[in-house]
């Protein structure tokens, strides 16, 4: 997964939706079939495919989508397991990789710092949309918490929240058990 990144131009629901479409079509189909089944906008579909591929959920070659074993698991498992799998995939994908490294060092980071990382790693057209998607991926997979009022991101530790800088020495891996 080295060097992989999310475009942050698609949402979790869109990525999971694509996996469901592929799974209900036998695990393999071409992009035009996705368009036929769902009538999804092709511009959006390309970003969804990129993000699903970056997460190792599918392979996209010569216009054909085929689910990986991880993608098949996502389609079959219950939401709790799906979150676990996605969390495992996300932590090695940019911009999450860099954000999590910074969280490990600083204990908490604000919106501006996250946006800087998003710009460097994903270079999205629409920053607000990218930030919203980033937050939604992180909250959905329980990687971090987000304080909507103070716009602060904090990591989640098993059994409780790491609420302050004094807990920053916790190993990164402890966030994802």
Partner 1 sequence: MGTEWWDVEELDELPVLLELIKVKKTYVIGKRKLEVIRDVSFKMYDGEFIAILGPSGCGKSTLLRIIAGLEKPTSGQILFMNKPIEGISPRIAMVFQSPALLPWLTALENVSLVLEARGMDKKTSMEIARRYLSLVGLAGFENSYPRELSGGMKQRVSIARALAVSPQLLLLDEAFSQLDPLTAESLRSEILDLWRMGVAGIRGIILVTHAVDEAVFMTDRIIVLSSRPTTVVKEVVIDLPRPRNRRSKRFLEILDEVYEYIS
Q: Is 158 exposed, middle or buried (0-12, 13-18, 19+ CB in 10 A)?
A: exposed
Cβ(165)–Cβ(106) under 8 Å? yes
Closest CB to partner 1 among residues 65, 166 = 65
* Diameter over CA atoms, the chain: 53
Contacts of 101 (CB under 8 A, 6+ apart): 172
Cβ(52)–Cβ(58) under 8 Å? yes
Angle (nearest 5°) at CA 142 between 134 and 140 = 55
Closest contact distance (angstroms) between CB of 49 and partner 1 is 10
Closest contact distance (angstroms) between CB of 81 and partner 1 is 11
Closest CB to partner 1 among residues 107, 138 = 138
Of the candidates 166, 73, 93, the one whose C-alpha atom is nearest the C-alpha of residue 134 is 93
Closest contact distance (angstroms) between CB of 2 and partner 1 is 27
Closest contact distance (angstroms) between CB of 16 and partner 1 is 4
Q: Which residues bind partner 1 (CB under 8 A)?
A: 11-18, 20-21, 23-26, 37-41, 44-45, 48, 75-76, 78-79, 83, 132, 135-136, 139-140, 142, 145, 148
* 3-class DSSP assignment, residue 106: helix
DSSP annotation of 59 reads E
Closest CB to partner 1 among residues 18, 100 = 18
Closest CB to partner 1 among residues 64, 120 = 64
Closest CB to partner 1 among residues 2, 43 = 43
Closest contact distance (angstroms) between CB of 155 and partner 1 is 12
Q: Return d(Cα 32, Cα 28) in angstroms, integer.
A: 12
């Amino acid at each position: 997964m080295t060097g992989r990144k999310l475009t942050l131009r698609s949402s979790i629901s869109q990525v999971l939706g694509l996996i469901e479409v592929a799974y209900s079509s036998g695990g393999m189909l071409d992009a035009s079939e996705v368009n036929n089944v769902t009538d999804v906008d092709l511009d959006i579909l390309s970003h969804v495919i990129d993000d699903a591929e970056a997460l190792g959920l599918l392979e996209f070659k010569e216009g054909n989508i085929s689910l990986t074993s991880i993608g098949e698991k996502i389609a079959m498992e219950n939401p709790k397991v799906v979150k676990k799998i996605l969390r495992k995939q996300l932590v090695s994908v940019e911009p999450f990789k860099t954000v999590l490294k910074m969280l490990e060092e600083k204990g908490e980071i604000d919106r501006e710092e996250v946006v800087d990382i998003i710009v460097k790693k994903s270079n999205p057209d629409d920053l607000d949309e990218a930030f919203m998607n980033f937050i939604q991926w992180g909250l959905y997979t329980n990687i971090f918490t987000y304080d909507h009022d103070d716009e602060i991101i904090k990591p989640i530790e098993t059994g409780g929240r790491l609420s302050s800088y004094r807990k920053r020495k916790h190993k990164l891996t402890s966030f994802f058990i």
